Amino acid sequence: MKQRIDGGDDLDSLNLFLPFVKRAMKNQKIFLDSARKYGTPQYILDEDFLVDNVREIKKNFSKDIVGFKLFYAFKSNDLPYMIRLLKEEGVNADVSCMFEMQLALKLGFEKIIYTAPYKSLQELEYAVNSGKIIINIDNVDEFNALCSLCKRLKKSASISFRIRTKNNNWKKFGITNSEFVKLANVAMKDPLLNWTGVHFHKSWNIDAKSYVDGLTEIADCLKENFSHEQLSRLKFIDIGGGLLPFESISVEDGVEMPCSIKQFSDVICSAVKKNIFEKLNINPEIWLEPGRLISSQATSILLTVKATKESESEYIVDGGTNLLGSPMFEEDYFPVVNISAPSEKLTIGKINGPLCDPADHWGKYYFGEKLKNDDLISVLNMGAYTFSTAWRWQRAIPKYVTFSARKGKSVIVKDEESFEDRYSGCKI
């Protein structure tokens, strides 16, 4: 479903957000208490939602695939406390840099895959020395660097290959089928390299098509180029992340509605059965490594209205788009609710942040009664690519609070950035 929205005419599309608004209304007291207790701005994590959502993903994918394993892309939100909760739910680690590798090891993850278009020698060495991080090879030069490193260290490395499937235009990432076949043959002859898996990833999927295409292409390539005995040694096929968790509404692309987790899993699982279990007659684990599907909906941002420009219906709140790392609301719509006086009514009024930049705003619409000073605002679905990409600009990265209604718990799990944090390492 695609439908244009031009910022004024098609406000009906925003009613797609009503289910999120209703959930925020249920949390009204928790949000008000949290703002009173810890202050705003704050990121706030709903632990119960996070856990239920992960269980739902695992349940749907595991029902048809015994060897299904869920990984979490740390890059989408690297809040250590949240990642620990995910680990307790049996989720594994998908990391993309030194900090994330260190965090995964510190949190005690056993299954860790490391994917990035560039990995420094220091990072490769760290991964090899860990003895448990699987290095997902992105390019030929990286493969050669790793071969030399293993020789120098006299240590072995577990590797997989990131294949750029034909439906993926992002040439920056991964290798072609023919490069993969060449490198895998070299790896099989190298006693220090343990080829354990293949991987592909395509971002931003509203349905299962790219997973079906990727699985079909990779299975055909494997069947054509490797013996059954060679393929039987593969421990996993990693089909990446990229499942869109909720409707995206943007000025440019209109409305993009993703299918449900069940619809994704039904189609993907049958493609796995057909291509991997039947066509190749092998039984590797199937790894899925979403980021936003796991992290986005569980976190909201709480802000307080500090000034009203009555004549323009404009407001200024105490947190800005430095919390996000990009001026997302210039192009996209997210549900914003007046938590002090919530309702399902859409009200017009532009909510600006405190940064010295006109692009620093939270959109021109919100659900609820007309705002006034000291009202609390909740911006919903703010858990993915926000905290982890937050800008170091002007104002502090705020605190992160977590709550569980089931456990009657609310606690700060990351302090607000201080002057010392900001200028750490700087000569003054």
Ligand X SMILES: Cc1ncc(COP(=O)(O)O)c(C=O)c1O
Residues that bind ligand X (CB under 6 A): 73, 76, 94, 115, 201, 203, 240-243, 289-293, 384
Bond from prior residue into 335 cis (ω within 30 degrees of 0) = no
Rounded Cα distance between 165 and 213, Å, is 8
Secondary structure of residue 76 in the 3-state scheme: helix
CB-closest chain residue to ligand X: 291
- Nearest approach, Cβ of 290 to ligand X (angstroms)? 4
Secondary structure of residue 105 in the 3-state scheme: helix
Task: At 263, list the tokens.
Answer: 């619809």
Q: Given the complex with ligand X, which of 240 and 320 has the nearer CB atom?
A: 240
- Nearest approach, Cβ of 183 to ligand X (angstroms)? 18
Q: Given the complex with ligand X, which of 100 and 318 has the nearer CB atom?
A: 100
Task: At 375, list the tokens.
Answer: 């009202």
Q: Given the complex with ligand X, which of 199 and 395 has the nearer CB atom?
A: 199
Q: Given the complex with ligand X, which of 94 and 318 has the nearer CB atom?
A: 94
Q: Given the complex with ligand X, which of 269 and 396 has the nearer CB atom?
A: 269
Secondary structure of residue 101 in the 3-state scheme: helix
Nearest-5° Cα angle at 105, 101 to 110: 110
Instruction: Please give, one letter per residue, the 3-state secondary structure of 193-256.
Output: EEEEEEECCCCCECCCHHHHHHHHHHHHHHHHHCCHHHHHCCCEEECCCCECCCCEEECCCEEE
- Mode of pairing for the β-strands spanning 157-162 and 133-137: parallel
- Nearest approach, Cβ of 297 to ligand X (angstroms)? 12
Q: Given the complex with ligand X, which of 69 and 201 has the nearer CB atom?
A: 201
Task: At 153, list the tokens.
Answer: 């260290």
Cα–chain center distance at 57: 14
Q: Given the complex with ligand X, which of 77 and 402 has the nearer CB atom?
A: 77
Within 10 angstroms of residue 363's Cβ, the number of other Cβ atoms is: 19
Angle between helices 177-189 and 140-153 (to 10 degrees): 10
Q: Given the complex with ligand X, which of 164 and 292 has the nearer CB atom?
A: 292
Rounded Cα distance between 3 and 8, Å, is 14
Rounded Cα distance between 377 and 74, Å, is 27
- Nearest approach, Cβ of 402 to ligand X (angstroms)? 20
- Find out whether 403 and 46 touch, Cβ atoms under 8 Å: yes
- Nearest approach, Cβ of 362 to ligand X (angstroms)? 22
- Nearest approach, Cβ of 73 to ligand X (angstroms)? 4
Q: Given the complex with ligand X, which of 292 and 361 has the nearer CB atom?
A: 292
Backbone angles phi, psi at 236, to 5 degrees: -155, 155
Name the residue with tokens 């919903």: 380
- Nearest approach, Cβ of 294 to ligand X (angstroms)? 8
- Nearest approach, Cβ of 72 to ligand X (angstroms)? 9
- Nearest approach, Cβ of 199 to ligand X (angstroms)? 7
Name the residue with tokens 């929205």: 5
